[in-house]
Amino acid sequence: MYFYKNQFLSKNDIQISPDDRGYYFGDGIYEVFRVYNGQIYELQAHLQRLGRTASEVRIALPYTASEIGDMLTELVHKNKLVEGTVYLQITRGEAPRAHPFPEQAEPIVLAYCSVVPRPVASIHKGIHAITLADIRWLRCDLKTLNLLPNVMAKQAALDHGVQEVVLHRDGIVTECSASNIMIIKDQVLYTHPANHLILHGITRAVVLKLALSLEITVQEEAFTTEQLYQADEAFITGTTVEITPLLQIDGKPIGSGAPGPLTQKLQNEFVHTFS
């Protein structure tokens, strides 16, 4: 069961217009919500970010945050989703192709559920990554549909036989192709400040709160690729990856080359936030 244009429909009943600006301009926004035990995780935080992105790109949301939350909750129930994700997309609407905002177009809402198990193996065993130059635009804090650079980066990781890409701007680490990144050095947690160069990750925010509750010192400041290589621990955070250790980057082991003790502490605390 999907939600499209104000109604719940089967996938086969959905017809997307070639005039949808999301189709030919990527003119739209989105959110991906995690579902644990049949409940949407951090719903309000996601809706708040959705509202901010909509405001910044000047898309008038057709529903209130409360109405969107109710619709997504109903969608989860209709699909009997226990563990997985909900994808929500809102485009500027349908109009003949032209760069200026159309005067009459109404935003189009699409949402659907997917069964996505927790990535338990990679959470416990860790993953490998490579570094690449961050060539994205300068509003990475907005969750828009323009994800081709991220897609290319993720494919580059797979082409190199690893699972993720760590992006950097002139040697300053920003984030990854589909996640945020944090390192630990001398018992201090470092992560890039939540400015326009990274996405304000929901899981990132949860992890920072957990770190403070564990009395881990947190520094929201940029670090270099060299500091990344020299880190005691490194991990990525995200809605679908949760807290996944980075064991090796560009063929160089991080710390001991195994999930670190503070990473594991954070992982254990994170599970308690939804179990």
DSSP output for 197-253: TS---HHHHHHHHHHHHTT-EEEE---BHHHHHT-SEEEEEETTTEEEEEEEETTEE
User: CA-to-CA distance for 149 and 142, rounded, in angstroms?
Assistant: 14
Q: What is the DSSP letter of 102?
A: P
Contacts of 237 (CB under 8 A, 6+ apart): 179, 180, 181, 182, 201, 203, 204, 207, 243, 244
Catalytic residues: 143
The backbone torsions φ and ψ at residue 265, rounded to the nearest 5 degrees and listed phi first, read -60, -45
Backbone angles phi, psi at 255, to 5 degrees: 60, -125
Q: Cα angle vertex 79, ends 122, 20, to 5°?
A: 90
Rounded distance, CA 90 to CA 54, Å? Answer: 9
Q: Is 240 exposed, middle or buried (0-12, 13-18, 19+ CB in 10 A)?
A: middle
Within 8 A by CB and 6+ apart from 107, the residues are 59, 60, 61, 62, 90, 91, 92, 93
Question: CA-to-CA distance for 244 and 235, rounded, in angstroms?
Answer: 5
Q: Is 196 helix (H, G, I), strand (E, B) or coil?
A: coil
